[in-house]
Homo-oligomer: A and B are copies of this chain.
Amino acid sequence: MECQLTIDLTDQKKEKPAHDKLAFGVHFTDHMFVMDYTEGKGWHDPRIEPYSPLTIDPAAMVFHYGQAVFEGLKAYRNQEGEVRLFRPDQNFKRLNRSLTRLDMPTVDEAFMVEALKKLVSVEKEWIPTAEGTSLYIRPFVIATEACLGVRASHTYKLIILLSPVGAYYASGMKPVKIHVENSYVRAVRGGTGNAKTAGNYAGSLKAQTEAHEKGYEQVLWLDAIETKYIEEVGSMNVFFKVNGEAWTPMLNGSILEGITRDSTIQLLKAWGVNVVEKRISVEELFQAYQNGELEEAFGTGTAAVISPIGEMSWNGNKMVINGAKTGELTQKLYDTMTGIQYGVVEDEFGWSVKVTE
């Protein structure tokens, strides 16, 4: 990526929302990053420009054949005014894996990290500083060619949006109730489950809506082949503390390779916790529950970081985990991870990347 990043700043700045009025992904900053791809020419014209609607042909392939991949990460600003990103290189590595699976052109990862740092730096006043708040970052790539033939597009747009977001747990961590889903599936071996692509989310909404109607906050996805092994929870990876060990489903091609998942595994290992990545059947987990060995459960993902699970319902069996309270290990992981993210806990892993100003 030899081309120069151009910057066009707006003179019509929006009013920033109050810290206590922030929700998730509804407010956007004054600028966005945009870059175009044209077959034969490659990625070109990287630029920071005023946030504005796209003008896009109704025949653009993204609307019809779904070539759309995305990433999610956050920028954190602490009391000292320092701004940090968390493992942004991993997000662009994964973006490239997703792009490859969807038959879309890859990007220069190092250039993208630098471009993102520049964008965040331009928008640093938008990063809220109240506890637990942050700036959510959404890079995404969409197919833009106006053509209805079923094939990969010849043109694409990569965009990065920034959105100030409130604390995920505004009134403290609250364990969620999970429904183990037996009918709908999220992904299957040979499909797109390990790519962060729009279609995976589209297919999951119906199950989520039905779970909400039954009084659950999230769905626990099982494998599509045997409807037996645990895959993910909602749009997060999942961990269980069983008899002192940390279990998590092994990566199998249909599970998203979460960056918070990987960070969690590294932290647990550094603390001397035995981490077991394996196929976990609900049956085996229920057995552990009945034996009193299922001590904690939590999801991992960028939005919530660590999300405690208080209750799981499976075929009429109810598992109440740790008295529906946040477990000790779950809390320690949350505190350490967010501490590293805000730069208030020592980062021995080199995960935290300072945005130079």
Q: Which A residues fall within an 8 A CB radius of B?
A: 23-26, 28, 32, 51, 53-59, 62-68, 70, 100-103, 136, 138, 140, 142, 146-152, 159, 161, 163, 183-185, 187-192, 197-206, 208-209, 224-225, 227, 234-235
Q: Quick one: given A55-B54, A191-B188, are A202 and B148 in contact (CB under 8 Å)?
A: no
Residue ID in chain B nearest A100 by CB atoms: B206
Is A63 a contact of B62 with CB atoms below 8 Å?
Answer: yes
Which of A57, A190, A204: most chain B CB closer than 10 A?
A190
Copies in the complex: 2
Residues of B within 8 A of A183 (CB): 190
Partner among B24, B59, B66, B149 whose Cβ is within 8 Å of the Cβ of A28: B59
Complexed CA–CA distance, A70 and B59 (Å): 12
Partner of A70, one of B24, B64, B152, B227: B64
Centre residue among A25, A163, A197 by max chain B CB count within 10 A = A25
B189–A197 touching, CB < 8 Å: no
Instruction: Check B25 against A205 for contact (C-beta < 8 Å).
Output: no
> Which chain B positions have C-beta within 8 A of A188?
185, 188, 191, 224
**What residues of chain B lie closer than 8 Å to A187, measured between beta carbons?**
191
Q: Which residues of B contact A148 (CB under 8 A)?
A: 24-26, 136, 138, 161, 163
Tell me whether B197 and A138 are in contact (CB under 8 A): no
Chain B residues with CB under 8 A of A197: 66, 199, 202-203
Contact A203/B192 with A58-B53, A59-B25 known, Cβ cut-off 8 Å: yes
B70 touches A68 (CB 8 A): no
A27, chain B: closest CB distance, angstroms: 10
Question: What residues on B are CB-neighbors of A198 within 8 Å?
Answer: 62-66, 68, 198-199, 202
12 contacts between A and B (CB under 8 A): A25-B59, A26-B149, A54-B55, A55-B55, A66-B197, A66-B198, A102-B202, A150-B204, A150-B208, A150-B234, A189-B224, A192-B199
Contacts of A190 in B (CB 8 A): 183-185, 224, 227
Residues A58 and B203 in contact, CB atoms below 8 Å apart: no
Given the interface pairs A58-B32, A59-B25, A68-B66, the reply to whether A203 lies near B191 with Cβ below 8 Å is: yes
Q: CB within 8 A of A159: which of B23, B58, B138, B150?
A: B58
Assess whether A103 is in contact with B163, with CB atoms less than 8 Å apart: no
- The one of B26, B54, B103, B227 in contact with A205, judged by C-beta atoms closer than 8 angstroms, is B103
A209 touches B152 (CB 8 A): yes
Residues of B within 8 A of A28 (CB): 59, 146
Known: A102-B206, A190-B184, A205-B152. A26 touches B147 (CB 8 A): yes
- Looking at A55, A66, A136, the one whose CB has the most chain B CB atoms below 10 A away is A66
Task: Report the nearest B residue to A25, measured CB to CB.
Answer: B148
